[in-house]
Amino acid sequence: MGGANAHYECITAFSETDFTEDLGVIDVPTLVLHGDDDEVVSYADAALLSARFLQNATLKIYRGYPHGMLTIHADVLNPDILAFIRS
């Protein structure tokens, strides 16, 4: 949930900004999570590319999970996030 203008501005910023160089300097272990049924942000255009540019990425794609997966599927994602942090 959030303000309509904030969502609009966020979409504009993300779609017009190239974060490739920023991702390339991140050298700590990074967990990239994405649902393959995200109709807002394509996992092929976001998660796969992000994981490729990060130096130490762990990529996890969730079959059938939508854009709001962190809220809808917290019961599955929270244990995965904790396992990553503990590792």
What is the pTM (predicted TM-score) of this model? 0.84
- Whether the pLDDT of residue 80 is over 90: the answer is yes
Structural element, H or E, at residue 64: none
> Residue 59's beta-bridge partner residues?
32
- Where do the structural domains in the chain lie, given as residue ranges? 4-86
Whose tokens are 């130490």? That residue is 56
Is the pLDDT reported for residue 10 higher than 90?
no
Distance of CA 8 to the CA centre of its chain: 18
Tokens of 31: 């967990």
CATH number of 4-86: 3.40.50.1820
Residues 23-65: pLDDT tens digits? 999 999 999 999 999 998 889 989 999 999 999 999 999 999 9
CA–CA distance, 65 with 52 (Å, rounded to integer): 21
SS3 content of the chain, % helix, strand, coil (to 5): 50, 15, 40
